[in-house]
Amino acid sequence: MIHWIVFSTLATGLFYGLYCLTLRRDRWLGMSLLYLMTTLWFSIVFPWFTLPENLATASQKVIPTEEYMMTLDEIDISANAASRTIDLTDIHLIGIALCLGFLLLQLGAQAVAIARLRRRHTVYKAADGFDIPRKASLILLDDDTAPYSFFNQIVVGTRGLNDDELRCILAHESYHVSHNHTYDLLAAWLLCCGAWFNPFAWLIMREIRTVHEFQADAASIGACGREDYLHLLYRQVTGTGYGHITNNFKSINIKKRIVMMNKTKTRFGAWKLLAALPVVALLLMVGCKPSPAEIAVAEKQPTAATEAVVDPVLFDMENAPEGFQPPEFYGGMDALYKYLTENLRYPEQAKADKIQGRVLIRFVVMNDGSIVNVELARGIGGGCDEEAVRVVKAMPKWKPAVSDGKAVNVQYALPITFKLQ
């Protein structure tokens, strides 16, 4: 979880910064929208990718170990079935639930408002002589409601508008409908709900809404002329908004829109997208999880000592090389037991299914004391296997094994018993 939070936030920050330096001030609006939607999706999901073998870094390659296998004494982890602790995953899920709840409230409120308007007012279609998409529905209100679109619904307050101004507004909102901008916003919202803690994700979604308005402005200028459209924008500075999930005619700063309308496409604007490729490559190399095949231990043929993986027993020091000193958790067995009992949590699924038993975790203590190649040798299910692997991966460095006066890599097997009280 921490790995995903760190790297997804880092990725969105890098892509957002790159966008601000390149495409944000350019009129390559289609490219900008593609960049924003793609990088937002990529940033949130890429930390769960696994690297193919040819992209694995040196630290993820096969690690040679000594022929012998060390096995620790069995560790008992008991838990009261009624106990419950809140961890980082729980906090994340609570945040997602709150964010989705807010989104559903917005969608529900807007849907109810549209339904009421449809009951109280005439609903027009393109066949009625209005220049709107065939799938769109138009509701005209006799007030000063700010124009907006929601999915395929267009709502316009007509008070004070002449026919030319109405035509400009319909061109603007029709572009939102025909290009499914509400669906873009909904997809961005869902991604941001999954990464609600990430400020850059929300900033990228704001930029997506801005590009939507820039695109609709460009379509409106083509329909009714630049001068008439700019005059209309000035008149629409005030009005009532309808929430972040709608495409509101006045939702984006008017100054920004006018500045963008007066810009021209730079000659090499589209090539700016290539600047994202080195960032993508770097993130894939640094932030992706290594696949299980790439961290497999290079074991020799099983011997009497390595058979302890199947039925773990204490390692017989009489069979160890002369002068061999086994690796040790700093502080000894008592410190190791304390670390495991303080960090292991009995999984809720295992409690509910009354699962208990012994999990065997295998890992390598490197010659620098770091713990790598953590893998499940034998499990019991119910979430106990994943919990044991998680805690072992998070262990601090050990005191490395020493053979012939030199630190060596040694594989260890750690049995952990989950027991309900």
In 3D, which of 81, 101, 79, 97 has the Cα closest to residue 89?
97
pLDDT digits (tens, 9 = 90+) for 100-139: 999 999 999 999 999 999 999 999 999 888 989 999 999 9
Contacts with 222 (C-beta within 8 Å, 6 or more apart), sequence order? 171
Let me know whether 139 and 173 are in one domain. Answer: yes
Q: Is 419 helix (H, G, I), strand (E, B) or coil?
A: strand
The single residue listed with the structure tokens 């594989």 is 411
Let me know whether 116 and 78 are in one domain. Answer: no
Using CA atoms, how far apart are residues 255 and 253, in angstroms rounded to an integer? 6
Q: Give the pairing type, strands 401-403 and 63-64.
A: unpaired
Q: What is the DSSP letter of 51?
A: E
**By the 8 A CB rule, do 405 and 323 touch?**
yes
Pairwise pLDDT comparison (336 vs 48), residue with the higher score: 336
pLDDT, position 201 = 92
**By the 8 A CB rule, do 55 and 292 touch?**
no
pLDDT, position 287 = 62
The single residue listed with the structure tokens 């694995």 is 56
Contacts with 255 (C-beta within 8 Å, 6 or more apart), sequence order? none
Instruction: Provide the domain limits for residue 112.
Output: 2-48+89-285
**Does some domain include residue 316?**
yes
Let me know whether 156 and 259 are in one domain. Answer: yes
228 pLDDT exceeds 90?
A: no
pLDDT, position 305 = 30
Prediction pTM value: 0.59
- How does 246-255 read in b/e, with b if 16+ C-beta sit within 10 Å? bbbbbbbeee
Residues in the chain: 421
Let me know whether 101 and 173 are in one domain. Answer: yes
**Does some domain include residue 292?**
no
**By the 8 A CB rule, do 24 and 207 touch?**
yes
Of the pLDDT bands very low, low, confident and very high (cuts 50, 70, 90), residue 307 is: very low
Contacts 24+ apart (CB under 8 A), 320-323: 320/68, 321/68, 321/403, 321/404, 323/402, 323/403, 323/404, 323/405
Using CA atoms, how far apart are residues 65 and 365, in angstroms rounded to an integer? 9
**By the 8 A CB rule, do 119 and 102 touch?**
no
Let me know whether 7 and 79 are in one domain. Answer: no
**By the 8 A CB rule, do 288 and 49 touch?**
yes
Extract the tokens encoding 194: 């999954």
What is the domain count for the chain?
2
Let me know whether 184 and 40 are in one domain. Answer: yes
Let me know whether 114 and 171 are in one domain. Answer: yes
Task: State phi, psi for 306 to the nearest 5 degrees.
Answer: -80, -15
Other CB atoms within 10 Å distance of the CB of residue 318: 5
Using CA atoms, how far apart are residues 151 and 176, in angstroms rounded to an integer? 8
Other CB atoms within 10 Å distance of the CB of residue 372: 16
Let me know whether 243 and 273 are in one domain. Answer: yes
27 pLDDT exceeds 80?
A: no
2 pLDDT exceeds 80?
A: no
Q: Among the three residues 285, 311, 344, which one is the final residue of a domain in this structure? A: 285
Let me know whether 152 and 79 are in one domain. Answer: no
CB burial of residue 385 (10 Å; 0-12, 13-18, 19+):
buried
Q: Among the three residues 231, 263, 285, which one is the final residue of a domain in this structure? A: 285
**Does some domain include residue 294?**
no
**Please, what is the average pLDDT of the chain?**
76
pLDDT, position 356 = 85
Of the pLDDT bands very low, low, confident and very high (cuts 50, 70, 90), residue 320 is: low
pLDDT, position 326 = 83
What CATH number is given to the structural domain containing 331?
3.30.2420.10
**Does some domain include residue 265?**
yes
pLDDT, position 152 = 92
Percent above pLDDT 90 for the chain? 22
**Does some domain include residue 373?**
yes
Contacts with 231 (C-beta within 8 Å, 6 or more apart), sequence order? none
Let me know whether 106 and 252 are in one domain. Answer: yes
Q: Among the three residues 285, 307, 338, which one is the final residue of a domain in this structure? A: 285
321 pLDDT exceeds 70?
A: no
Let me know whether 155 and 175 are in one domain. Answer: yes
**Does some domain include residue 369?**
yes
- How does 342-363 read in b/e, with b if 16+ C-beta sit within 10 Å? eebebbeebbeeebbebbbbbb
Q: Is 344 helix (H, G, I), strand (E, B) or coil?
A: coil
